[in-house]
């Protein structure tokens, strides 16, 4: 008892020291590490902003030209988008092949196809490709005209594969072409149905 009464200050000091050590390891050190990490992150962000501000100041005199340049880019994009159809449904594919038949004076058989995505642009427009495989029988001159037309057609089309054989008995070029018709699905353009003339169906009544 006398020992405790004489040593209470020492015991209290030891307890306080243990508490202080616990606080250092449990609270101070973790919070210090967190503070150091946040400080380093803030300093890094400040450095990046300072570099960005310095770079922006270089082009300050060009700021007035930006709106005009943006308008030119938008106009150019719109002009480009207008060259692509928005969709190519089955009726569009049929009408396209019928047009090729009339142009080349030859019968063409083909298979219907579905478009597949090729590229997504930053404004959300999707460039798609639709493969049309056409089988043809035509003269050699007709084949050359067909290739020349596909190379200069306003519709953006490329030839993926081409096969040609010559039939000497009929003097015809026979083969098939795999065409890729390009489609651009964008919000700023509407689908346009093909222009189909109504067929002649004769009289309304056979008794008239």
**pLDDT for 75:** 85
Structural domains of the chain ordered from first start: 86-185 (3.30.70.60)
**pLDDT for 128:** 92
pLDDT tens digits along 49-77: 888 888 777 777 777 887 888 888 888 88
pLDDT tens digits along 126-136: 899 999 888 88
Tell which residue, 179, 168, 174, has the closest CA to residue 143: 174
**pLDDT for 148:** 84
**pLDDT for 11:** 64
Q: What is the pTM of this model?
A: 0.57
How far CA 155 is from CA of 4, 26, 91, 129, 151, in Å, comes to 102, 72, 16, 12, 10
Q: What is the mean pLDDT of residues 90-97?
A: 87
Nearest-angstrom CA–CA distance, 117 and 179: 16
Nearest-angstrom CA–CA distance, 129 and 143: 24
SS3 117: strand
Q: What is the mean pLDDT of residues 138-162?
A: 82
Q: What is the mean pLDDT of residues 41-45?
A: 84
SS3 121: coil
Nearest-angstrom CA–CA distance, 178 and 162: 6
Q: What is the mean pLDDT of the chain?
A: 78
């Amino acid at each position: 008892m006398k020992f405790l009464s004489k040593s209470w200050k020492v015991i209290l000091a030891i307890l306080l020291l243990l508490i202080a050590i616990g606080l250092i390891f449990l609270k101070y050190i973790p919070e210090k590490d967190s503070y150091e990490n946040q400080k380093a992150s803030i300093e890094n962000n400040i450095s990046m902003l300072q570099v960005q501000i310095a770079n922006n100041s270089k082009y300050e005199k060009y700021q007035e030209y930006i709106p005009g340049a943006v308008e030119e880019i938008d106009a150019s994009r719109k002009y480009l988008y207008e060259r692509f159809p928005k969709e190519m449904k089955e009726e569009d594919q049929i009408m396209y092949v019928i047009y090729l038949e009339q142009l080349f004076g030859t019968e063409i058989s083909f298979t219907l196809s579905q478009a597949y995505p090729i590229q997504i642009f930053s404004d959300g427009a999707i460039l798609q490709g639709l493969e049309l495989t056409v089988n043809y029988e035509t003269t050699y001159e007709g084949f050359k005209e067909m290739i020349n037309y596909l190379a200069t057609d306003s519709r953006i089309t490329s030839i993926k594969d081409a096969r040609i054989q010559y039939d000497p008995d009929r003097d015809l070029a026979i083969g098939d072409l795999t065409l890729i018709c390009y489609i651009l699905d964008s919000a700023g353009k509407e689908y346009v149905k093909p222009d189909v003339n109504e067929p002649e169906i004769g009289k309304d009544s056979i008794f008239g």
